[in-house]
Structure 1
Amino acid sequence: MRQTMSRMNGSTIKQYSTTFLLVGSMASTVQIRAAEAVYHANSNYEAIKQSMLAEFALTARDIPTALHNYTVLAIKSNSTAVKQRALNVALEHEDLRAALDISTHWVVQEPQDVPALFYLSHIALKAHEYELAAETLDKILKIDETADLEEILAGIAPDNTEDRDYLIQALSTSKTKDNPSILVLIAGLEAQNGQLEQALETINRALKKRPKTTGYILMKANLLNSLGNEQETLAWYEKASRKNKNNLEIRLAEAKYLIKLNYSKQALAKLEETIKKWPKSEEALFIAGLTSIDLEEYEKAEKYLVELRYSLKYQNEAYYYLAVNAERKQHYETAKAYYRLVDGSLYTVSRRNMIAIFSEQDKLHDALRFLTQERVNYPQHASFLYLAQADILKRMNNKHAALRLLEEASQNLPEDPELIYAQVLLLDPFEDREILDERLKTLLHIEPNSPTYLNAYAYTLAMQNHRLDDARKYVEKALELAPEQASILDTYGYICYLQNDYATSVSVLEKAYLLNPTVKIGVRYARSLYMNGDMSRFNQMLNQLQQNYPNDPELKQLHSLLLIPSFQTS
């Protein structure tokens, strides 16, 4: 049964190449009796020919022909590989009717073949043929009453209440309706329908028959938790752990639930008991290490996490949290040493943390040297490393060096928009007008529908008070893509202001300020109100800004406006 389920993983049906099918077909002729050699050779030749025609049709995107040939071949052939290939093609091209025909004939030919029955029940569910699915599940359980059927529903459970009710009805009236495997399927469907009390009752029936099944125990815990019964859930976990002392999965689930409820001390105590019994359990060691850090038990954290340094699954996470642990203890050199060892998905965050330590130690030059070496050791992270170095140079007030570095980076990685955008942010809109225009055009060539890059181009043109009609088109397109982004609304309002379209400017900047009430946006909004002749709202806005930002120099712009008459719009 375990083999059967492994064949259901991935895209459901395992793919086989044409070559494999042909070799498999030809190999099968070895056992043919001599008297029937000519007949079977001809039959085998026709099968090879038909499979080749099907594959050629697939290559030519002639899906109907391919499906027809493979369906006929699967129905006529006794080859499991051919049937699986035919099913894969049918499902890949979402022809459930063909898949159903193939799997149905397979079961007719081999009624005791459990994998074939699994395929048929899976496809029947996918095709919403719930009565057929229930009948097929009955047949599976007749062959093996302990079969685990949950994987059949994985990823294809009915997606609406009506269909789930229909399937529940079909399963509840089947011959094996009291089988625990059927009951757990029904409980899962009831839970999806929000019938949590009913689902709990159903899983309890399954547990009476199989009280030690881990999946059933954990499902009951999840249902109790979903019902908001915190104490009952804790009591159930405690009871299940006590009665299943040798079940690591239940022990770990209990500890995770305690952590979820912020009972970290109790969780750590449970984890320590678990580690005594299963000293090599990587998950237990990892959770215990993280929980110890949270509880500021740093020595314990190190003891558990060090055990995972050579773990295939947790190595990077172990190094990362060993570094965090060392940093919490203010052992900064140890932290940096551990951060250096981190790779994978935690690479960038670990290097950012290292840069923060260098900065705290006032060793930014050392950070620059470190990042240069990292580009040699980790060329796949070159873009991130260049950007990190440029940011450090900017913090060191060395903008020209940062621009030179980013120019070098763009030559090595010419299609990387983030490196170009970093240059855009550093270039002066007046002194570097031509190169800035070229960089912005390159950005939009690489990602023409990026609201960030469209907004950057529009804002640059607005700052230059240049090509305002083009700027407005860019920012309007950016707004279509990201209508609730304050920075884009701010640019749009600023452009409208420069075009003397004060009414639109007021409307847009009001929305921008509500989304992000910064002094910069507030001052632009107030200026637009003033130029639109709305003195009442202008005064309200001025008072609000003075209260929120009493010493901000940008407010001087608004005070100067009071010395000149406002403009009244018609």
Structure 2
Amino acid sequence: MATRDPASEPSLYSLLEAEFAADRGQPERALQLYKQQSFKQDATAVFERALGLSLQYDDVDSSLRFAKAWQDKNPDHVPAWFYVAHLALKAHNYELAGKTLNRILRYDPRADLSEILIGIYPATESDQRALLAALEPIDSTQNASMSVLKAGLLLQANAPKDALVHIERALARQPNYTPFITLKTDILRQMDAPDAALSYVDQARLRNPSSKSLYLYQIRYLLDLKRSREAWVLLLDAQQRFSDDAEITLLAALVSLDIEEYRRADQLLNVLVQNSIYTDQAYYYLGISAERQQHIDMAKRYLNAVMREDLVLAAREKVVAFELLEDNYDAAIATLVKLREQFGVFAPDTYVMQADILRQQQKTDEALRLLTTANRQYPNSEGILFARVQLLDNRSDYVIKRALLQHLQSLDPSNLAYQLSYAQLLMAHQGSEAQGVALAQSIISIRYDDPRYDSELHLETLNLLAEYALNNQEYAQVIDYLQTPYDVLPTLPSGVLLLRAYQGLGETDKVQSLLEDLQQRFAFGQHNINDRVQLY
């Protein structure tokens, strides 16, 4: 009878040394010893410990090389196939991943691949295409996990009909599994079949009445389709079924607000007030509800009750806006001072808002003193510095304003508000007008799908260019800048500039028509009304 050579088996001494090295914070030594010992006979447990350390301390490619080398030496060890497949997917080695997955499925067509596929979905389009190509030859008809992966990749590749074939295979095995249901619905949506998608997910929800996820999916899909009233009815049903679920109650309240069902919104929000986690959100949206119903004093009470840090600034900004609408300047400032005392993190914001209130009262010098003091206290606040800059006069303070704006642009070169202010300064200074116009033109050339695009700032820049053109009696240019924006989203400043341009061209009919529109929209010429916009 042949005897086994002890030297061919893992050394207990080496394993203990490796474990001590790992405990002492010497992972390189531990890995070296474990990897060496894992290639000996009957060393499966050692391999798994070595691979665990490798995943913790090595990069993915190193772990894959180790796992592949071990699997090549132990070709019949099935768990190693799973390790190699998972690591190959993580390392974007899709050719190896495809071959290994194919091997697994030939061995067991219904193998559970869920652990292999966790966290490996490619982020880039090129990787998605590469993985799809590697998986294409694999027979996945009996494997739900592989069918779903193929379906997801085909959906991303804009091949929804092919994706539908694969998701149907997965659903044949797990017809009530929510992720499979929602993926099929996504596929139907991409096929531009909203009625079929809604009908399918509706039937799936009725089969699974306890699935909160399916309720929320269908509700959000209805909202995407602008079918808010249907979403609301379904939400009320969900809120009754999941009466203790604050997330659904809040969503039902928000949709109620959206469709102007204020009574129901208030009922739901008052339920949420009792939930300590949602109290501040409930108060905030109760304030919004009261505002939309023109109950301003009630809105202020609710919004003043908000104390959660991520909501309190927006809530107090609304309170300040309400006070300003009633010309209660002292009350508005008192709200800001109190916020500053309660939440020091928002102090710079409150100083900027307080200075703007002083500016509205024609107290520019006092506003500048306030911001100068605040700037000493918060020297790194760009907001305070920019607010100071905006209070400086373009002509008498030209030198210092230009220096400060150049400093701000050096701190944040992509900030379009800084660029617009700089363009305005240049256009007001003789000799640098062309440079300012060029800068403003570059701002309005930014496309709407650019992350930097800001619709309000874009319109403000158009108004600046139009005003410059008006001053140069370029009336047609003013109309070219502003007529389309005014048709889409009328504002008083744009309307007044257009009116003056049409007057300059002597177009009496246009002047009369636009004047009537301004009077109707903004009471232009009847009252001293600012073009204020309420933000919800």
TM-score of the pair, normalised by structure 2:
0.71
Judge conservation of contact 2:92–2:127 (CA < 8 Å) in 1: no
Residues 128-181 of structure 1: per-residue CA shift (max 9 Å, x gap): 54423524764997796384766344344753675254134133x3xx542122
Matched with 1:395 is 360
Is it true that 1:324 corresponds to 2:288 in the alignment?
yes
Cα distance change on mapping 1:462 and 1:543 into 2, 3 Å: closer
From 253, 265, 271, the equivalent of 1:301 is 265
CA contact (8 A) 2:389 2:405 kept: yes
Identify the residue that residue 189 of structure 1 maps to in structure 2. 153
Cα deviation 1:379-431 (Å, max 9, x = unaligned): 22222222222222222232222222222221222222222222222212334
Residue 276 of structure 1 corresponds to 240
Are 1:121 and 1:132, in contact at CA under 8 Å, matched by a contact in 2? Answer: no
Change (3 A) 1:271 1:490: closer
CA RMSD of aligned residues (A): 4.6
Percent identity for Structure 1 against Structure 2: 21
| Alignment match of 1:428 (pick from 393, 404, 428) | 393
Tell me the equivalent position of 1:134: 101
SS in 1 for 2:290: helix
What does 1:73-472 align with in structure 2 at a 5 Å threshold? 78=46, 83-84=51-52, 86-87=54-55, 91=59, 97-105=61-69, 111-112=78-79, 116=83, 119-120=86-87, 122-123=89-90, 125=92, 127=94, 129-132=96-99, 134-135=101-102, 138=105, 145=112, 147=114, 151-156=118-123, 159=126, 162-163=129-130, 165-171=132-138, 173=139, 176-309=140-273, 314=278, 316-340=280-304, 341=306, 343-433=308-398, 435-448=400-413, 450-457=415-422, 459-465=424-430, 468=432
1:170–1:85 Cα change, 3 Å: farther
**CA displacement, residues 206-230 of structure 1 (integer Å, 9 cap, x when unaligned):** 2222111111111222222222222
CA offsets 1:180-215 (integer angstroms, 9 cap, x no match)? 222111211222222212222322222222111111
- How has the CA–CA distance of structure 1 residues 147 and 454 changed in structure 2, closer, same or farther, with 3 Å as cutoff? closer
1:395 aligned partner, one-letter code: Q
Q: Any conservation in 2 of the 1:322–1:338 contact (CA below 8 Å)?
A: yes
Could you tell me which of 499, 505, 509 is aligned with 1:543?
Answer: 505
**Stretches of structure 1 lacking an aligned partner (at least 5 in a row):** 1-35, 55-68, 527-539, 553-570
Distance in structure 2 (CA, Å) of the matches to 1:305 and 1:496: 51
Does the 8 Å contact 2:141/2:169 carry over to 1? Answer: no
1:543 deviates by: 2.3
The answer (yes or no) to whether the contact 1:427–1:436 under 8 Å persists in 2 is yes
> Mean alpha-carbon deviation: is it higher for 419-428 or for 295-304?
295-304
Q: TM-score when scaled to structure 1? A: 0.68
Structure 1 window deviating more from structure 2 (371-380 vs 115-124): it is 115-124
From the superposition, tell whether residues 366 and 300 of structure 1 become closer, same or farther in structure 2 (CA, over 3 Å): same
Deviation at residue 371 of structure 1 after TM alignment: 0.7
Aligned residue identity for 2:335 = F
CA contact (8 A) 1:200 1:220 kept: yes
Q: Distance in 2 between the 1:124 and 1:458 partners?
A: 49
- Aligned-residue offset at 1:510: 10
2:375–2:381 contact (8 Å) kept in structure 1: yes
Q: Which residue of 1 aligns with 2:521?
A: none
